[in-house]
Structure 1
Amino acid sequence: MTRKQKRLTMILGGLAVLGVAAGLVLYALSDTITFFHTPSDLTETGVQPGQRIRLGGMVEDGSLKKGPGTVTTFSVTDQIKAVTVSYNGILPDLFREGQGVVTEGKLQPDGTFVADTVLAKHDENYMPRELTESLKEKGVKLGKGAEQ
């Protein structure tokens, strides 16, 4: 082998190793990706039961129910559809009906959503950008502070 061939072999071998490493990293990260959906998106996008997602919307008025211990159920709505959410844990201090919320968890086969994380907006002028954009696309009128 000439020097040029050796050099070319080393470069191609290095690129192949880098390609395999990048592929393995992307494959490992694919399991941790959570996509954002609104209640009406769940049927449109074909979210499968057991798939980990983020569900966002407004906490429906009159839907908050405390269960035994720290179990809480409530409905998340985008003014088009609503999804019942079950959460076992302590809710954020700013969590209340009529406020924006983003939950992370899994959709059950019966259509309920079991959340393991609940994120509430931190003041009256903030709503997550994904939630704001999604609600605007669906024609939902937002309050003055939410349109940032």
Structure 2
Amino acid sequence: MKSLKKKRRIQVIALAFVALGVSTVLIGYAMRDGINFFRSPSEVAEAPPGPMEVFKLGGLVVEGSLVRGDGDVLEFAVTDGAATIPVFYDGSESVPDLFSEGQGTIATGRYQDGRFVASQLLAKHDETYMPREVQQALEDAGHPGATDGAPITN
């Protein structure tokens, strides 16, 4: 009788571990599309991601690169001082009021055919704010004006 109870207890524990493992895998699978990794222009230039991978690209909008199309459609370039990536914004959401050349931005989208196709744009809040990821990428790229707000031309 004791042997039967012990066997049953082991089966229940084993089943609990299997259920825990399966649920962990399912949660990870469900979250994979919700996680967008940040990349600097240098990282994208060194190792271009696949065309279906959604990620965040951050840097400074290059002076003189901003071209406005119909509605909220934009074309511009983002740099970290070491590399520059052309960006096409499809205008699916309104362009932030503070979005301009020489300012920090983080765009969410995909890298396709040598350019970043953005579906969302974020702009820095004021003259002194720089998103942490963008500031770190600029400093890593060796940009001398990364923290003092100096405009970047590329």
What's the CA shift string for 1:60-87, capped at 9, x where partnerless?
0011111122211111111112111111
- Does the 8 A contact of 2:41 with 2:58 survive in 1? yes
| Residue from 126, 129, 139 that aligns with 2:129 | 126
1:105 corresponds in structure 2 to 109
Amino acid at match of 2:45: T
1:135 corresponds in structure 2 to 138
Asked if 1:92 is matched to 2:96, the reply is yes
Distance (Å, rounded) in 1 between the aligned partners of 2:71 and 2:104: 24
Asked if 1:21 is matched to 2:34, the reply is no
Asked if 1:42 is matched to 2:58, the reply is no
1:82 corresponds in structure 2 to 84
Distance (Å, rounded) in 2 between the aligned partners of 1:99 and 1:44: 23
Q: Which runs of 5+ in 1 are unaligned?
A: none
Distance (Å, rounded) in 2 between the aligned partners of 1:114 and 1:96: 18
- Superposed CA RMSD in Å reads 1.7
- Does the 8 A contact of 2:59 with 2:137 survive in 1? no
Tell me which stretches of 4 or more aligned residues in structure 1 moved more than 4 Å: none
Distance (Å, rounded) in 2 between the aligned partners of 1:23 and 1:119: 32
Asked if 1:2 is matched to 2:4, the reply is yes
- The DSSP-based 3-state class of the residue aligned with 2:11 is helix
Give the structure, 1 or 2, with the largest relative contact order (CA under 8 Å, sep 6 or more): 2
Q: Which runs of 5+ in 2 are unaligned?
A: 150-154
The number of residue pairs the alignment matches comes to 145
TM-score normalized by the length of structure 1: 0.89
Percent of aligned positions that are identical: 43
What's the CA shift string for 1:12-41, capped at 9, x where partnerless?
111111110111110121122211111111
- The DSSP-based 3-state class of the residue aligned with 2:6 is helix
Amino acid at match of 1:98: G
2:152 corresponds in structure 1 to none
Displacement after TM superposition at 1:59 (Å): 0.4
- Does the 8 A contact of 2:61 with 2:76 survive in 1? yes
